[in-house]
Copies of this chain bind each other. A is one copy, B any other.
Amino acid sequence: MHRLPFTDNYTLRPNEVDVEHLLRLSSLADMFQNSAWRSADVLGFGFHDLTSQGLAWVLSRMQITLDSYPDWGETVQLDTWPKRTDRLFALRDFELYSQSDKSEPVVRASSAWLLIDLKTRRPRRLESLESAMPSLDRDAIEATPVKLSCPDSMPLHNVVQVRRSNLDMNYHTNNAAYIAWIEDCIPMEMYQHRRIHELTVNFVGESFIGDQLTIEYQLDQNHMNGRICNQKKQDVVLFSAGLSTRT
C-alpha cells in the first residue's frame, strides 16, 4: 500500500532561514529533494532501487510559486506525489502547507525528472517504469515546467569554484547549490523588500569539484534572469533561472 501524497513535516532550523528569518529557496530545494527521494524509495523507485539497475533520477526542470515564506521555528507540512509523464519527463509535484492554516498551500511546485542511464549519461524512455509506478492525478501546478530562453549575454556577477561541500552523492554539483548561487545575486536592498514569487529553473549540465563557474544575471524591474556556465566552455550553459518578485 502506497498512500499518496507522501508527507513529511519540517520544523525550520536556523541554517534553513535567511537573515530575515525566512525560509531560503535553497533550503526549500533541499526539502523537496529529501521528500522526493523518500517518496520514491517508498514506491520502490528510490536511489538504491535505481542505482542497482544502473539508473538515476536527475532533476531537469522545476517551477515554484511562493505565496508566503515560512519562518524560523515554524513547522510546515510538505506533500509530494508523482503525477503523469510528459515525453522523457517524469513529473512530480509539491505542496507546502503552514501548520496553522491547511486550507491553501503557501508554496506550490512542479518538477520534471529524467531517468538517466549511469553508463551512457543519457536519458532512458520511461515506458518500462510507467506502468509499475504509482501516481496521483492531481496538479500543484498544471503545466510542465518550461525550457527557459535566456538573453544571449548578461553581465557577469561572480566566478565561483565548485567545492566538495557543493557536491551530492552523485559526485556532481547539487541542484540546491545552483539555486543558492542565483539567490545570492539578488541585491540586498531588493532582497529585504521584495520576495521571489515565482521561480523557474533548468538544470542542463553537470559540474564537478574544482570547476570554475561563471554566474551571470540581469535584473529588469521585478524580473531576473540568471545563468551559470563552466568558465572553460562558455557556450555550454549548466543552469538557468528566471524569477519574478513582489512585495
Contact = CB atoms under 8 A, between A and B. Distances in A.
A21 B48 CA distance: 12
B188 A165 contact: no
A164 B191 contact: yes
Nearest to A29: B15
B26 A14 contact: no
A223 interface: no
A78 to B, nearest CB: 12
Contacts of A24: 165
Interface residues of A, number: 32
Given A158-B161, A165-B26, A184-B163, A34 B19 contact: no
A18 interface: yes
A34 B184 CA distance: 23
Nearest to A169: B21
Chain copies in the assembly? Answer: 2
A81 to B, nearest CB: 19
Interface in A162-206: 163-165, 167-169, 171, 174, 176, 180, 183-184, 186, 188, 191
Interface of A: 13-15, 17-19, 21, 24, 26, 30, 33-34, 37, 72, 158, 161, 163-165, 167-169, 171, 174, 176, 180, 183-184, 186, 188, 191, 209
A15 B188 contact: no
| From A37, A186, A191, residue with most partner B Cβ within 10 Å | A37
Nearest to A37: B14
B191 A19 contact: no
B14 A168 contact: yes
Nearest to A166: B184
Contacts of A174: 14-15
